[in-house]
Amino acid sequence: MTSDEYCREIEAYLCRKNDGHLIRIVGPSFERVCGWAGQGIPFKVACRGIDRYFERYYEKGPRRRPVQVDFCEADVLDAFDAWRRAVGVRLPDANMTDEAAGKRPRRSLPDHLKRVLECITGRLAAGAAPAPALRRTLEAIADEVSSFGDLRGPIRGEARDRLRARLGELDRMMLEAARNEADRGVLETLRREASDELAPFRERMSPEMYGQTLETAVSRLLRDHERLPTLTFD
């Protein structure tokens, strides 16, 4: 996708989000979106950032005017930062980006555990039920995460480190169950999508690093596809 094609796709997506109201991306806005393409921000990641802005916009009540693409940039960059962290893509200015990300407010560990339980409960109650083995895994994880609430007082030091390590193990167990139960055609589609997302960065990676990053990207897409929570806590 060229920068011009990327902009037109973003323009079409923004039009759909604005209920068909056409918002042309021209002038400084065009240069801004071309900058997203130049950074290698995958189209779907940019769309997730736009979605985030619209979610907050809807929470404020009825919309009064169409959303301009410029309003979405902070959310698009934040979504890209979250994506590269999840997938493992390192950028030349990664230290600067990490420093900026470190200044953002973070969810507390109790809030994170509460959110995980809400996500799992919602997934188990969804109309499209997960496959049997994945359902059993999610139920077991929910039981264990619920038991963490019995821990008394602030969770600090070694207890916190052990809990974080266990959350990482549970996350890997959940994704492994999801992969084992996933349809082969779905996995192939996700692999192609992951390959497209990583295309701008492939030349910067060794074959070994690219292979590892690709598998991580597939897992992230599978997580989204199955509507699974992120259990790990940093």
Residues 31-84: tens digit of each pLDDT = 999 999 988 899 989 998 999 888 888 777 766 688 899 999 999 998 888 888
Cα distances from 24 to residues 28, 63, 77, 152, in angstroms, run: 11, 19, 21, 55
DSSP for 26-75, please give it.
-HHHHHHHHHHHHHT--HHHHHHHHHHHHHHHHHTSS--SPPPGGGGHHH
Confidence (pLDDT) at 56: 80
Confidence (pLDDT) at 154: 67
Q: Which helix (H) or strand (E) holds 117?
A: helix 109-125
Confidence (pLDDT) at 90: 66
Confidence (pLDDT) at 204: 82
Confidence (pLDDT) at 102: 45
Q: Fill in the DSSP letter of residue 203.
A: G
CB neighbourhood size of 162 (10 A): 11
Check: CB of residue 30 under 8 Å from CB of residue 7: yes
Confidence (pLDDT) at 99: 45
Task: Name the stretches of the chain with pLDDT < 50.
Answer: 94-105
Q: Which helix (H) or strand (E) holds 12?
A: helix 3-17
Count CA atoms closer than 13 A to 199's CA, side-chain side: 12
Confidence (pLDDT) at 2: 86
What is the pTM (predicted TM-score) of this model?
0.68
Spell out the domain ranges in the chain.
Answer: 3-102, 109-226
Distance separating alpha carbons of residues 135 and 174, to the nearest angstrom = 10
Taking each helix axis from N to C end, the angle separating 73-87 and 43-59, rounded to the nearest 10 degrees, works out to: 130
Confidence (pLDDT) at 92: 52
Confidence (pLDDT) at 87: 81
Check: CB of residue 134 under 8 Å from CB of residue 226: yes
